[in-house]
Structure 1
């Protein structure tokens, strides 16, 4: 795979912008298990998935547009080539969901369980992730544009080879997260826990709040083989 060019402004610093909000429908129909189980090439539009159990299902090429998920269970779902646009997810279980070559556009994810989510070789654009549990998640080879993680548990998350240009992490726990070979021009960290992150030498161009720098400096020193010696 060739190197990806980072998205930069004329000043050489990657631009950050507020994610575009989802475009809600004027009305929602209620989804039911009988009529709205996941199937290949299915298209779900303007539906409310409230307290539905879709766990363990799989589908290729499925499309969700202007849908709302609240109290639903999508744990263990497997998707390939899925499209999720203008959707809202609240208090929904996405643990161990696996998606490849899939996209999210103008999506808001709030207070979700997303432990072990794998979103591989995909794309996230204009996505806000707030107060979600994303420990052990993986976003390898995924492109991020206009994405915010706010108040999330991202311990041991894997962003290897992801394009995180301009992504903002605020009040997140990134203990042990992996950033090897990631593109991070203009990636912003504020009030985050960065202890033990991997691939720290790939963080060139990132912007880090002063209070987050102390823990990261020890990890960087270790990666570069620098010994820290206490003074007399």
Structure 2
């Protein structure tokens, strides 16, 4: 399986080249329903609530989700491209080998979810919720994550590349060994123990020095 040219190797979704283009209708999204090997393109799902829905080998292309709750759901080998997932509730879901490409994720709720081999590329995830998520092999590449919430999350092989993390809340989340030197971390919400071993530029280190109670005299 191919991986991306970054420090963190992210496995791509295992998606068949022979998917069927199908309509995605609100009436079909019910508790514990399953969808597999399909492309859902240029549609709008609105006012939909369902739990434990399974999506496997799916491409969502230019799909808009409005007032949607898909809690406890399973997304395996899925690609979201040019989709609007703002304020969608994915709490406590399982997300494996998934790509979010050029998507709007403003206020999207992924709290308490399990993420494995997930790539976010050129996504707007301002105000998104990742609190208490279990993240392994995750890449945020050229994303907007200002004011998002990652508090008390578990990170393993997580990379932020050229990403706006200004005022992100990461209290209780260890950033040890992570390279944030290419990111905007202005106003980052962390504890002193959270940033032990983090890699930053000299200017970023000055900004973080306030956590140690250091007063810099010019």
SS at match of 2:60: strand
Residues 33 and 19 of structure 1: is their aligned pair in 2 closer, same or farther, counting only changes over 3 Å?
closer
Aligned to 1:47: 38
**Alignment of 1:115 onto 2:126:** no
Residues 206 and 75 of structure 1: is their aligned pair in 2 closer, same or farther, counting only changes over 3 Å?
farther
C-alpha displacement at 1:34, in angstroms?
Answer: 4.5
Aligned to 2:13: 22
Residues 35 and 118 of structure 1: is their aligned pair in 2 closer, same or farther, counting only changes over 3 Å?
closer
Quote the Cα distance in structure 2 between the aligned partners of 1:136 and 1:146.
22
User: Which residue, 112, 120, 130 being the options, matches 2:121?
Assistant: 130
C-alpha displacement at 1:200, in angstroms?
Answer: 4.5
Aligned to 1:214: 203
Whether contact under 8 Å (2:25, 2:45) holds in the other structure is no
Aligned to 2:153: 162
Aligned to 1:223: 211
Quote the Cα distance in structure 1 between the aligned partners of 2:25 and 2:66.
19
User: Bigger CA drift: 97-106 or 146-155?
Assistant: 97-106
TM-score, normalized by length of structure 2? 0.90
Quote the Cα distance in structure 2 between the aligned partners of 1:156 and 1:99.
19
Write out per-residue CA displacement over residues 154-198 of structure 1, whole angstroms, 9 at most, x where no aligned residue: 001110001122211011011111110013333332411011100
Residues 106 and 176 of structure 1: is their aligned pair in 2 closer, same or farther, counting only changes over 3 Å?
same
Kindly report the root-mean-square deviation, in angstroms, between the aligned alpha carbons of the 2 structures. 1.7
Whether contact under 8 Å (2:26, 2:46) holds in the other structure is no
Whether contact under 8 Å (1:44, 1:63) holds in the other structure is yes
C-alpha displacement at 1:52, in angstroms?
Answer: 1.3
Report how many residues are paired.
211
TM-score, normalized by length of structure 1? 0.85
Quote the Cα distance in structure 1 between the aligned partners of 2:140 and 2:8.
13
Write out per-residue CA displacement over residues 52-103 of structure 1, whole angstroms, 9 at most, x where no aligned residue: 1113311110010000001101233112211101111110000001122101
Quote the Cα distance in structure 1 between the aligned partners of 2:82 and 2:90.
20
